[in-house]
Structure 1
Amino acid sequence: MGIVNVTPDSFSDGGEFSSFERACKHVDLMVAEGAVFIDVGGESTRPGATPVSIEQELERVIPIIKHIAENHDVWISIDTSKPEVMEQAVQAGANMINDVRALQEPGALAMAAKLAVPVCLMHMQGSPETMQDSPEYLDVIDDVIHFFEQRIVACLDAGISRDNLILDPGFGFGKTIEHNYRILACLPRFHELHLPLLIGLSRKSMIGDLLERDVSKRLAGSLAGALIAAQQGAQIIRVHDVPETVDVLKVMSATMASM
């Protein structure tokens, strides 16, 4: 899953693809490099980020979604928590919803049920404004799994098909570096929920803080994380660096096929 953030303030590529032309070129390149999903975001959810209006988010994402739908045979994911954005994005050609708030915003559950497209439910402790202030858990694995169990029930009760649910443990969203690496080490536990896993740790602070690298120098760490996640059964890997990740996963797949 290639990432395109049509925002001025995302943690890694903020401002880099905020114009329509640059975002389109970036999408075209990621597809050519092997991305089979494109995740389009119009609101930063980095630590400390503040929300944007519905109108502003729509202005950012809808033209890109239309461009992708008209020009590429890939799955389009809309990274949003707003029901209004979900609806217009799917009408414009998006195939799935990627919600960092796990459909907890007012009206989100009903909208997802109405749209009947796959939804990724992500775990986040707190909100982007405050999530990294002092995250605490009794046991991070048990707590995140319990959260997912509750959200799955809420989704099913709202009329969302279980076949349309995907889970993301939310690396960096209300977690310390220790929490993040415990989740990465324990990904098989999440398979107990019998739903696909989407993993997004590309260029995040869990890599930068460990390796003492700024955002532009986290490729090797991101690839290591992607490989570990894939080896532990993650089905979707959300990344900034598409061709390098594709190469790593091809080598892994060839090796596993030869066993």
Structure 2
Amino acid sequence: MLSKHAIGKRTFDFSRQIAIMAVINRTPDSFFDQGSTFALDRAVEASIKAARQGADWVDIGGVPFGRGPHVSVTEEVDRVVPVVQAISEATDIVISVDTNRAAVAAEALRAGAHVINDTSGLGDPEMAGVLARSGAHVVLTHSVGPPRVEKPAAHFEDVVRSIYDFFQDRIARAEAAGVTRNHIILDPGHDLDKNTLHTLELTRRLEEFTDFGLPLLVAVSNKDFIGEALDREKQDRLIGSITAMVACIDRGARIVRMHDVPATRDAVVMMEAILGWRPPVRLVHNTHPTHNV
């Protein structure tokens, strides 16, 4: 049973609430936005705009997961920390930093971040200790091997079983280091070191990960599995992204990492209304004898 989670300055009841995580990339080679928020002022502006549009959370990334040129720890810190500082002074939104490096995580947390979104799932042996000492939340994401490098073709005997076993191991590793269990969030890693068939299967079977009793985060927005399923380029995947997100919510996802905040918010509010978690904004239709619309 999911409980309430105090994350940063906000509290979420994941038994009846979906949190919207906006994506802010301070990178020149980001997968979707192609560097549009690489400049510091643009990144801060986009973060504050996302908060105004209804995002509960912003995820700041300084290095993409996919293969590409090396980015030093110093450069990654220089990319993410000023954004964290500026956002934390301007809004009460939850701030996470997408990094797999413990040194970057430590600096980001000192600057005001509340969550580390670790796409390597504690690949850095120092990461769990940093998290335990800070008391921060962590997103444990399933991937295979280090980010930023070329990897062999994806292969799993049972992709869901592999992810499930990975989560068991990484939760145990985090708790052994002193991370509080209710500070752990799980992300099965849509498309990360997986092909489209793997990602579609983990989406169909997402509910199996609710066995852990921890919040599930999904990052499906504009991913290649949507492009390959629909034969759509990155800029034409919004409807597919929203559909995949809703399917994940129906199967237990409670945090959704998405690029288009207004469209996401409409879909999330509609899902919460359908599930009986929130009342309609207004109630007029067929509530009066003369109302025949």
TM superposition score category, shorter chain reference: over 0.9
Q: Quick one: which of 188, 192, 199 aligns to 1:169? A: 188
Q: Does 1:30 align with 2:63?
A: no
Question: Does 2:181 correspond to 1:143?
Answer: no
- 2:112 aligned with 1:87, yes or no? no
Structure number, greater radius of gyration: 2
Q: Which residue of 1 aligns with 2:209?
A: 190
Q: Distance in 1 between matches of 2:48 and 2:92?
A: 11
Aligned partner of 2:171 among 139, 152, 157: 152
Between the two proteins, the alignment pairs up a number of residues equal to 258
Aligned match of 1:6: 26
Query: Using a 3 Å threshold, how does the CA distance of structure 1 residues 258 and 237 change in structure 2: closer, same or farther?
Result: closer
Report the more deviating stretch, 120-129 or 95-104: 120-129
Does the aligned pair in 2 maintain the 1:50–1:128 contact within 8 Å?
no
Corresponding residue for residue 249 of structure 2: 230
Structure-2 residue corresponding to 1:133: 152
Distance in 1, Cα, partners of 2:65 & 2:123? 15
Structure 1 gap ranges (5+) = none
- Partner amino acid, structure 2, of 1:30: A
Q: Which residue of 1 aligns with 2:88?
A: 69
Matches of 1:173 and 1:49, distance apart in 2: 15
Query: More deviation in 74-83 or 101-110?
Result: 101-110
| Structure 1 stretch displaced more, 50-59 or 128-137 | 128-137
Task: Specify the alignment match of 1:216 in structure 2.
Answer: 235
Question: Take 1:152 and 1:245, find their aligned partners in 2: how far apart are those partners?
Answer: 29
Residue 258 of structure 2 corresponds to residue 239 of structure 1: yes
1:46-70: CA deviation from partner (whole Å, max 9, x where unpaired): 2x23441111001111111011100
Q: Which letter maps to 1:5?
A: N
Contact 2:37–2:43 (CA under 8 A) maintained in structure 1:
yes
Cα deviation, residue 131, structure 1: 6.2
In structure 2, the CA distance between the partners of 1:28 and 1:146, relative to structure 1 (3 Å rule), is same
Q: Secondary structure at the match of 1:85?
A: helix
Higher-helix-fraction structure:
1
Displacement after TM superposition at 1:30 (Å): 0.7
User: In the alignment, is the contact (CA less than 8 A) between 1:54 and 1:85 conserved in 2?
Assistant: yes
Superposition deviation, residue 230 in structure 1: 1.1
TM-score of the aligned structures, taking structure 2 as reference length: 0.85
Are 2:139 and 1:116 equivalent residues in the alignment? Answer: no
- The AA in structure 2 aligned to 1:170 is G
CA distance, structure 2, for counterparts of residue 222 and residue 140 of structure 1: 21
Give runs of aligned pairs for residues 27-66 of structure 1, distance below 5 A.
27-46=47-66, 48-66=67-85
Percent identity of equivalent pairs: 34
* Alpha-carbon offset, residue 127 of structure 1: 3.0
2:174 and 2:74 mapped to 1: Cα distance?
Answer: 27
> In 1, are the aligned partners of 2:64 and 2:148 still within 8 Å (CA)?
no
TM-score (norm 1): 0.96
Q: Tell me, yes or no, if the aligned pair for 2:120 and 2:145 is still in contact at 8 Å.
A: no
Aligned amino acid, residue 23 of structure 2: I
Of Structure 1 and Structure 2, which has the larger fraction of its residues in strand?
A: 2
Q: Deviations over 1:129-186 (max 9, x none)?
A: 4566311111001111001101111111111111111100001111110000001110
- Tell me, which stretches of 5 or more residues in structure 2 are unaligned? 1-20, 279-293
Q: Over aligned residue pairs, what C-alpha RMSD do you find?
A: 1.5
Cross-structure match for 1:249: 268
Task: State the distance in 1 between where 2:277 and 2:81 align.
Answer: 43
